[in-house]
């Protein structure tokens, strides 16, 4: 499959959901669990990221997030291209191994 014909993207979810009182903490935990089950990885605290193959794939995950948002707090989404993501500067620390994709090595084709 030729991946170059796809507009590969990253969907970044940034959120601030209060954890006081206890029902707020349940909403936080439920939302975070949803993100992990939907294939997002934690980039930093309250910042999760997911690779999307193209725009329709990205929109599908945006709709899923909208359907699982808690009623309070702050949730922001940012779509960027894979090329923009690759140009991100990391000033301190290192990328997590699950943040990097290498299609030449990790592509599995099932026929």
Omega before residue 111 within 30° of 0, cis = no
**Across residues 44-72, what is the average pLDDT?**
93
Predicted pLDDT of residue 97: 62
What is the domain partition of the chain in residue ranges?
7-86
Mean pLDDT (the chain, rounded): 82
Judge residue 91's burial from the number of C-beta atoms within 10 Å of its C-beta, 0-12 exposed, 13-18 middle, 19 or more buried.
exposed
**Across residues 84-97, what is the average pLDDT?**
79
**Across residues 70-75, what is the average pLDDT?**
89
**Across residues 67-96, what is the average pLDDT?**
87
Residue 64 confidence class, pLDDT cut points 50, 70, 90: very high
Class assignment of domain 7-86?
alpha beta
Predicted pLDDT of residue 83: 86
């Amino acid at each position: 499959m030729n991946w170059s014909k796809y507009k590969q993207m990253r969907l970044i979810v940034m959120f601030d959901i209060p954890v006081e009182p206890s029902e707020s903490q349940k909403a936080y935990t439920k939302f975070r669990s949803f993100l992990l089950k939907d294939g997002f990885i934690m980039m930093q605290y309250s910042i999760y990221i997911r690779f999307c193959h193209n725009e329709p794939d990205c929109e599908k995950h945006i709709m899923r997030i909208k359907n699982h948002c808690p009623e309070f707090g702050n949730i922001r989404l940012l779509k960027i291209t894979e090329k923009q993501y690759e140009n991100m500067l990391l000033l301190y620390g290192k990328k997590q191994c699950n943040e990097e994709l290498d299609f030449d090595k990790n592509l599995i084709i099932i026929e």
